[in-house]
Amino acid sequence: MATIVSLDPRVTRLNIESTDASMDPKPELDQFQTFEVFVQQKTGAHHVHVGCVHAPTSDLALVLAKEQYGRRGTTLNMWVVNTRDVVTTSADDADIFATTPEKKYRDVAAYMVRNKVEEFKKKNLPQDGEKS
């Protein structure tokens, strides 16, 4: 028996058996595609996801995104990306990041510079009252 294949991956993962074997696909453009919208507000800033729009084509999605999200504030640049083209990891796949080595040296908290400088001073510099 066939399982339901949904646009929502959470439904597809449930492997629900389909009771209607004669399900036909929807006609083309019966339902619009979903596009994710990213906006850049100033030069050098990152593009930020602001929402999504539904449109039959990417060109129309850009126009709709401009009208929906570009009029609210300063907008320098805008991207629209078809949602089906966005590749993500699932929460079930979190173990793929387990092999990432510890890189504490990239975190500011890993550097205890003040403590190291004070220790160096105590070892190598004359203390008050000592002659050099």
* pLDDT 10s digits, 115-131: 778 888 888 877 766 66
Task: Tell me the pLDDT band of 57, cut-offs 50, 70 and 90.
Answer: very high
Rounded CA separation 9/117 (Å): 54
pTM (2 d.p.): 0.53
Return the SS3 of 41: coil
Q: 15, 32 in Cβ contact below 8 A?
A: no
Structural domain spans, the chain: 31-124
Residue that wins the pLDDT comparison between 88 and 40: 40
* pLDDT 10s digits, 63-89: 999 999 988 788 999 999 999 999 888
Q: What is the CATH number of domain 31-124?
A: 3.10.20.520
